[in-house]
Amino acid sequence: MNMVSHRIRSAFLALFFMLALPTFAQSVVKFDKEPLVIETTAGQKYNFTVEIADTNEQRQRGLMYRQDMAADAGMIFDFGASKRVQMWMENTVLPLDMLFVDRAGIVRGVKQNAVPYSRDIIDSVSPVKYVIELNAGAAAKLGLKAGDRVTSPTITKYK
């Protein structure tokens, strides 16, 4: 094979891998779902169906690459133990609100309108066991804040 055809072949292979890489990065990660209820300190209850991210692979993937999410949907990240948690939005298309929740199901902090694709660290500041991601704007619309209570099978199985 002459040098020109080798370069052309190499260029085509490089182009193939550049185009194929996003597809490989979006490989399927399966998530179970469960009902989740958020009760505000004012007594309002809001029902969601959330996907459960309780393995390293699931927590690393989270809601990356998702194009849309139902208004009453979200994801609960179970970190297995209470600790200071740091999240980011790299490869996440959807703007999100994050609720930082302790072992007892109490919201300890809220991050509203996390910016898609951002590598900025979103820090729980205090130890939490769970992070719940909802569509951006849900926290403001529903008046969610620190002190609210969250219940779901994932949270109540450890009580």
**Over the stretch 105-120, which tens digit does the pLDDT of each residue have?**
999 999 999 999 999 9
Residue 87 domain-assigned (yes or no) = yes
The pLDDT, as a whole number, for residue 26 is: 56
The pLDDT value recorded for residue 145 is 97
Structurally, the chain folds into a number of domains equal to 1
Residue 114 in contact with residue 136, Cβ under 8 Å? yes
Segments of the chain with pLDDT less than 70: 1-27, 158-159
pLDDT at position 157 is 74
Q: Residues 53, 36: contact at Cβ < 8 Å?
A: no
In this structure, what CATH number is given to the domain that contains residue 114? 2.60.120.1140
User: Is 110 within a domain?
Assistant: yes
pLDDT of residue 6: 53
* 7 occurs within a structural domain: no
The answer to whether position 3 is within a domain reads no
Task: Give domain status of residue 70, yes or no.
Answer: yes
- Separation of alpha carbons 139 and 132, rounded Å: 11
Distances (CA, A) of 81 to 104, 123, 146, 155: 12, 16, 20, 12
Instruction: Output the pLDDT for position 141.
Output: 97
What pLDDT does 23 receive? Answer: 46
1 domain residue, yes or no: no
The verdict on residue 2 lying in a domain is no
DSSP the chain: --HHHHHHHHHHHHHHHHHHHHHHHT------EEEEEEE-TTS-EEEEEEEEE-SHHHHHHTTTT-----TTEEEEEEEEEEE--EE--TT--S-EEEEEE-TTSBEEEEEEEEPTT----EE-SS-EEEEEEEETTHHHHHT--TT-EEE-HHHHTT-
Q: Is residue 5 part of a domain?
A: no
Is the pTM of the predicted complex or chain greater than 0.85?
no
Q: Which domain holds residue 84?
A: 29-156
